[in-house]
């Protein structure tokens, strides 16, 4: 995977639904259009939820990786 330039990092590890979504929303709101947020979460539900959130809000889920039980999401603000 090519390097993704991230503007901000958000750690949602250990948090459960709906906190990763709510915190992601707040973080993305603080970015400018085109900037990327890197969010990590351990909630398995966040995989589907992040996709749905991105789909609904129009922000782009650029990439999702998984290592152990940690999911990493790269979200580009629309």
Partner 1 sequence: MADTKKLAIIASQGTLDWGYPPFILASTAAAMDMEAVIFFTFYGLPLLKKEIDAKVSPHSNPAMPMKMPFGNKDFQSVNWQIPNLISANVPGFDNMATMLMKETFKKKGVATIEQLRSMCQEFGVRFIACQMTMEVFGFEKEDFIDGVEFGGAATFLEYAADANISLFI
70 sits near partner 1 (criterion: CB under 8 A): no
- Cβ contact 78:57 at 8 Å: yes
56 sits near partner 1 (criterion: CB under 8 A): yes
In the complex with partner 1, the residue whose CB is nearer, 22 or 70, is: 22
Instruction: Tell me how crowded residue 16 is: count the other CB atoms within 10 A of its CB.
Output: 13
Let me know if 12 is a catalytic residue. Answer: no
25 sits near partner 1 (criterion: CB under 8 A): yes
Residues present in the chain in total: 78
Q: Which of 17, 22, 51, 70 is catalytic?
A: 17
């Amino acid at each position: 995977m090519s390097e993704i330039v991230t503007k901000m990092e958000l750690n949602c590890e250990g948090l459960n639904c709906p906190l990763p979504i709510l915190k992601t929303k707040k973080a993305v709101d603080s970015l400018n259009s085109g900037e990327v947020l890197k969010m990590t979460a351990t909630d398995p539900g966040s995989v589907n939820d992040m996709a749905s959130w991105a789909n609904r809000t129009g922000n782009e889920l650029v990439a999702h990786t998984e290592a152990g039980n940690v999911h990493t999401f790269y979200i580009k603000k629309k």
